A and B are shown apart, each in its own frame.
Chain A
Amino acid sequence: AQKITQTQPGMFVQEKEAVTLDCTYDTSDPSYGLFWYKQPSSGEMIFLIYQGSYDQQNATEGRYSLNFQKARKSANLVISASQLGDSAMYFCASSRVVNYGQNFVFGPGTRLSVLP
């Protein structure tokens, strides 16, 4: 079974600094996807970034980048130049193809607080 581990329940970062949120995954599937989602206090889940297991390059989306280290089974999220609006819960997730669709496994989340 797949498992996602996020070892940082909470993180603080100063505005305009970079921050790394850790994520490790455990899967025996040869093909999988890794995702990061942001959940502000309003509750909606916002997709941030995706990395495929066969992608050679690390994914980037604006200020977000995913540091993918396949041998270590880690998929850390890096947020550059933090903003106050980045304060939220962040979830790492993995997906895999099953017979007729796909399912997803989520980590417990990391609460990021950006300080002015």
Chain B
Amino acid sequence: EPEVTQTPSHQVTQMGQEVILRCVPISNHLYFYWYRQILGQKVEFLVSFYNNEISEKSEIFDDQFSVERPDGSNFTLKIRSTKLEDSAMYFCASSDYRDGYTFGSGTRLTVV
């Protein structure tokens, strides 16, 4: 069964550093998403991406965040200057818009 692949599975970074989280969506999906889940809290929508541009973004997705699809397979989330409160599990997902999403297994980001 097709999978969404995320790397790394766990990243530790110092406050103020830039991080790039990587995702390989399912190849024939056209819609891509990033969500995050702070420990013990609900999953929150960050951004959706379609046709090489952002479709929607939440209030969480401020100027510190950016997304990119640098080639035909990867989808990345960049956090420019990490803060302690950015520590969370970050999930990538892709969709063909007809059925449910497929989520990746997540990247646990720890900002110290």
B partners with A: no
Residues of A within 8 A of B (CB): none
Residues of B within 8 A of A (CB): none
